[in-house]
Amino acid sequence: MSDTDSDSEEVRTDGTGIVPPDDETPSWQERKARHEGLSRLTYEYFERARREDQDLRQQSSYVERDVLAFPTWPHEMIRNLALVSFFVGMIIFLSAALPPHIGPPADSSSTPAIILPDWYLYWSFGLLKLGPLNPDISLLGGQKLMADRTYGVLANVVIVGFVAIVPFLNKGAARRPVEQPFWGAVGVSGIVFAFTIAVLSVKNLIQMDSHLLFDLTFLLPIVSAFLSYAVLRSMREGYMFNLNRRYYRLRPPK
Amino acid sequence: MADEFAKGLAILMGGGLAWLTLAGWYRTPSFEGSGVQLVAPVETPATIYGEIGIALMDVLAWFSVIGALTFWVVIPAVEELRSALDERSG
């Protein structure tokens, strides 16, 4: 796309095609002036990157647009102002109409009967109660290799490790679950397991046989994984998939 | 169709918030502990404003439920029925 090229070629104004470089972009002459040493190396590097980007853009069916987004002012700011006003108004309304009751200060000299972590840590607390899964090893004469509490701490390591590994197994190219039903099912089972293990952590408050609750903790995630996989696969075949073809076409190049 | 959903949702949220506030005033002895909240027996109001609030509470509860069902179920069903009848006659 040198200057002579852009003169001979008609510039398309419908937003398609490669946008010609503006004044800030170095011209080809400026680029080629860097013909030795580090400047040549960096020039070649960036030129190759630019060339690959151009090739990918020409190969893809992605519709290039001059307008990539709305400007911050006024469009985005007015929308943000509306959202901020709503939430600030809601906070003011609730704090005025339903002020929270402030209880007496905590008594540090007496320990409460039931000690629980905050609700968002129930899953980790539930993993400490996996004693029944800790195997009795017959080689050790029916003894356990490690204490139940050590086992529970190691279970935390396993779960956190799995959560950390998932992004490396699947890079998240899917924008919605129907595109990758398997990983959608993995996600659903993870959410269900987070809930069931949290329920297990407060099993003394649940009106249910504790053995049944323990079994359900691990069965429900598996069942929900199979169910969501089946539902997502059937959705793939269906009407929504055709309806959203345009959405796939508009996707940026890989 | 999306408009009908938004109308139903707005009614449910707006009416529900107003009901929640009034029920927090008149039908909740305490938010602490394991007592009944929002649906406890009505405390006897001392003022005319209290009586208005209690009357309004039931109105708002039914308004949010029936209003949402109207826009989500009744109106779409009537439209489906109407288009089905049109197809049959046409």
Task: Report the residue of B13, B19, B21, B37 to disrupt the A interface, i.e. the one with the largest count of A CBs within 10 Å.
Answer: B21
Q: What is the mean pLDDT of chain A?
A: 81
* Amino acid of residue B8: G
Q: For residue A101, list chain B residues with Cβ-Cβ distance below 8 A.
A: 30-32
Distance CA B8, CA B87 (A): 28
- In this model, does residue A240 exceed pLDDT 80? no
CB proximity B35 to A under 8 Å: no
Which residue of B lies nearest to A97 if distances are taken between CA atoms?
Answer: B21
CB atoms within 10 A of CB A199: 18
Distance CA B89, CA A229 (A): 42
- In this model, does residue A2 exceed pLDDT 50? no
Q: How far is A224 from chain B (nearest CA, A)?
A: 28
CB proximity B29 to A under 8 Å: no
**What is the rounded average pLDDT of the residues B75-80?**
93
Torsion angle of C-alpha atoms A128, A129, A130, A132, degrees rounded to 10: 140
Distance CA B74, CA B70 (A): 5
Q: How far is C-alpha A97 from the geometric centre of its chain's CA atoms?
A: 37
- φ, ψ of residue A193 to 5 degrees: the values are -65, -40
Task: Report the residue of A91, A92, A93, A98 to disrupt the B interface, i.e. the one with the largest count of B CBs within 10 Å.
Answer: A98
Q: How far is A113 from chain B (nearest CA, A)?
A: 15
Range from A63-72, B54-63, B64-73 carrying the lowest mean pLDDT? A63-72
Q: pLDDT of A164-178, one tens digit each?
A: 999 899 888 887 788
pLDDT of amino acid A65: 63
Query: How do the domains of chain B map onto residue ranges?
Result: 2-89
Q: pLDDT of A27-85, one tens digit each?
A: 666 666 666 677 777 777 777 888 887 787 777 776 666 666 777 888 889 889 999 99
Q: pLDDT of A39-48, one tens digit each?
A: 777 777 777 8
Who among A97, A101, A103 is closest to B21 (CB)? A97
Half-sphere exposure of A10 (CA within 13 A, CB side): 3
| Residue whose tokens read 């009034």 | B22
The CA-atom distances, in angstroms, between A238 and each of A183, A187, A244, B53 are 19, 22, 11, 50
Q: For residue B20, list chain A residues with Cβ-Cβ distance below 8 A.
A: 98
Given pLDDT bands bounded at 50, 70 and 90, which one contains residue A6? very low
pLDDT of amino acid A173: 80
Greater model confidence, A137 or A188 = A188
Cβ of B24 within 8 Å of Cβ of A97? The answer is yes
**What is the rounded average pLDDT of the residues A244-248?**
56
Q: Are A189 and A224 in contact (CB under 8 A)?
A: yes
Range from A138-142, A221-225, A233-237 carrying the lowest mean pLDDT? A138-142
CB proximity B31 to A under 8 Å: yes
pLDDT of amino acid B28: 87
Q: pLDDT of A110-126, one tens digit each?
A: 888 888 899 999 999 99
Q: Are A192 and A216 in contact (CB under 8 A)?
A: no
| ipTM > 0.90 for the complex | no
Given pLDDT bands bounded at 50, 70 and 90, which one contains residue B43? confident
**What is the rounded average pLDDT of the residues B65-86?**
94
Q: pLDDT of A185-233, one tens digit each?
A: 999 999 999 999 999 999 888 889 989 999 999 999 999 999 999 999 8
Interface residues on A facing B, Cβ-Cβ cutoff 8 A: 97-98, 100-101, 103
Who among B21, B30, B32 is closest to A98 (CB)? B21
Query: How do the domains of chain A map onto residue ranges?
Result: 3-59, 119-249
Cβ of A101 within 8 Å of Cβ of B24? The answer is no
Given pLDDT bands bounded at 50, 70 and 90, which one contains residue A241? low
**What is the rounded average pLDDT of the residues A235-252?**
59
Q: For residue A97, list chain B residues with Cβ-Cβ distance below 8 A.
A: 21, 24-25
